[in-house]
Amino acid sequence: MRVIVDAFGGDNAPLEIIRGASLAVAEYGIKVILTGKRDEILQTAEKNGVNLDGMTIINAPGVISMEDEPRSILREHKESSMAEGLRSLAAGEGDAFVSAGSTGALIVGATFYVKRIKGISRAALAPLMPGINGPFMLIDSGANVDVRPEMLLQFAHMGSLYMSNVMGDGRPVKVGLVNVGTEDTKGGDLQHQAFMLLKESGLNFVGNIEARDIPFNVADVVVTDGFTGNVILKLTEGVASALMKNIKDIFMTNAITKAAALMVKPYLGDLKKKMDATEYGGAPLLGISKPVIKAHGNSNANAIKHAIRVAADFAQKGVIEKISAAVKPEESLSD
């Protein structure tokens, strides 16, 4: 497997990106193609002792930042490392693409340069999130603020095929629709219509799910519009972070609590790791005709390593071919 990696995407580029790429080459034997300023990559690697064996570089003079308008990837930033990586993916120079750069630019760029799967009306960003019994997928987490019921059905199919094949053993996974109650008739028009479509979809649809039950793995694929999904993604992070701060404060209260902290420290580390979504390797951008993975903007080398591994898995398991086959002509949507 050959994974193209945007060496200039994210807060810690390029050093942590090339470090992560180097780890992925060494640990998984994946071939990595870096995109970005060749000279700076070589200098950074040399200065920091990063081994670039097993990697090639496609030179790209520009960088698109988080502050840049997403659509600028098609215009003033079309020479950026991200744009170059996407075009290389489209041209078949690699099997998958990873970037920790601007989410908006990645969605626009992937849609324009790599194209959507035929019949899929919207690409969806689908991060894996920590549940009490393991990861679940949230689809969509913010790429599509306004959606139609048929799009939620497509999100469900795509998420289900990904989770079943990349994260599972091929068996069907549970699909749930985020709603304000579990009864069939809850929610607004979007939920009513999506519910009916999902019920008749042939998927393992567990029905409407309440947000309270999401962290308890009530579904493996949590289907929702991008506005609600974005709130779910960020609130999970916020609540966990606020609670961990409270607990840290408790442990710092006095000598006794500080001693208690030392006694549970290794286990709290495990919990932190369990809660840390970077272990799951970033979010697939589902609906694009080739595997694209969005790594977290603040990814370190370890997160990039995992993202590259997941990108290779995504390509190897043939998920996109399975999505193509699942989108029957009569289900396809026009834009």
Residues that bind a second copy (CB under 8 A): 131-132, 142, 145-146, 178, 180, 187-188, 210-216, 226-228, 230-247, 250-251, 253, 256-257, 259-261, 263-264, 267-268, 271, 274-275
Q: How far is the CB of 255 from a second copy (least distance, A)?
A: 10
Give the integer Cα–Cα distance in Å for 329 and 50. Answer: 48
Residue 161 and residue 139 in contact, taking contact as beta carbons nearer than 8 Å: no
Residue length of the chain? 335
| Pick 74 or 261: Cβ nearer a second copy | 261
Residue 6 and residue 35 in contact, taking contact as beta carbons nearer than 8 Å: yes
| Pick 160 or 228: Cβ nearer a second copy | 228
Q: How far is the CB of 250 from a second copy (least distance, A)?
A: 4
Q: How far is the CB of 234 from a second copy (least distance, A)?
A: 4
| Pick 210 or 279: Cβ nearer a second copy | 210
Residue ranges of alpha helices (H) inside the chain are: 15-28, 38-48, 81-90, 103-109, 149-162, 189-199, 226-251, 255-275, 301-316, 319-326
Give the integer Cα–Cα distance in Å for 180 and 96. Answer: 37
Q: How far is the CB of 244 from a second copy (least distance, A)?
A: 8
| Pick 118 or 234: Cβ nearer a second copy | 234
What residues contact residue 5 under an 8 Å CB cut-off, 6+ apart?
17, 20, 21, 32, 33, 34, 35, 85, 97, 98, 99, 304, 308
Dihedral sign (CA 10, 14, 16, 17):
positive
Burial of 324 (0-12, 13-18, 19+ CB in 10 A): middle
| Pick 115 or 186: Cβ nearer a second copy | 186
Q: How far is the CB of 194 from a second copy (least distance, A)?
A: 13
Q: How far is the CB of 188 from a second copy (least distance, A)?
A: 5
Residue 286 and residue 162 in contact, taking contact as beta carbons nearer than 8 Å: yes
Give the integer Cα–Cα distance in Å for 15 and 190. Answer: 44
Q: How far is the CB of 333 from a second copy (least distance, A)?
A: 19
Q: How far is the CB of 279 from a second copy (least distance, A)?
A: 15
| Pick 49 or 254: Cβ nearer a second copy | 254
Give the integer Cα–Cα distance in Å for 102 and 139. Answer: 18
| Pick 167 or 209: Cβ nearer a second copy | 209
| Pick 20 or 187: Cβ nearer a second copy | 187
Give the integer Cα–Cα distance in Å for 131 and 114. Answer: 32
Structure tokens at 3: 């994974």
Q: How far is the CB of 240 from a second copy (least distance, A)?
A: 6
| Pick 178 or 301: Cβ nearer a second copy | 178
Structure tokens at 287: 């609906």
> For residues 289, 332, 153 and 192, what is the CA-based torsion angle, rounded to 10 degrees?
150
